[in-house]
Amino acid sequence: MRTNGRFGQPISDVEISDDRWAKKHMRSVEQSLGHARYFDQVWESWGDAYANCCNLQKLSDVNHLWLELVMIQLALTSKVHRDSSIAIPETDKNSRLIGICRHFGAEIYRTGPRGLDYLDVAQFKAAGITVETIEYANYYPYRATQNGDTVPVSVLENLAYMGTRAPEILRHSYLKVKV
């Protein structure tokens, strides 16, 4: 990434300096997930995505490419919108997210567990928006630590290990956050 003198820039402005990262990441994913049961079902499209990333100049375009691909593989039909195309006057992160939810009439905001570290859930509740977070314990324990606890995983890992079962498992893994 080109970062020199660009601290704090919007993600939509972050430029990719070269394509070495895509090739390195592709090799890492293949090495770590290549043995997974359903890896062959997803690898061809992932390889195509990595190849396409090499032609992209902006990090947001890479994010969008992968988001679209993963949504297809999870059988999600929601439409993706770039927040930069939505006129939301709020600048603080919680108000902006609430504004985006309101713009689309969303009554539920879903986030990962780490999102709760910076999210003001009470502010969402006051706006009439329920916050839900993924509960990793609901995943099938195909990967466990030595003491038997399941570990947080990436969506790529879910797809490689669970194949077409991944969407169903993910749909049942969200819990309402208590304020």
The 10s digit of each residue's pLDDT in 75-92 is: 988 888 888 788 888 778
Q: Is the separation of the CB atoms in 133 and 112 below 8 Å?
A: yes
Is 80 a member of any domain? no
- Kindly state whether residues 68 and 110 are assigned to the same domain: no
- Kindly state whether residues 102 and 160 are assigned to the same domain: yes
Is 3 a member of any domain? no
Q: Considering the entire predicted model, what is its pTM?
A: 0.78
Quick: pLDDT tens for 113-140: 888 999 999 999 999 999 998 776 655 5
Domain end, chosen from 25, 40, 73, is at 73
- For residue 28, the enclosing domain spans 11-73
Weakest mean pLDDT among 1-15, 23-37, 84-98, 121-135: 1-15
Q: Where are the beta strands (DSSP E) in 53-177?
A: 108-111, 130-134, 174-176
- Kindly state whether residues 67 and 104 are assigned to the same domain: no
Q: Is the separation of the CB atoms in 11 and 60 below 8 Å?
A: yes
User: What is the domain count for the chain?
Assistant: 2
Is 68 a member of any domain? yes
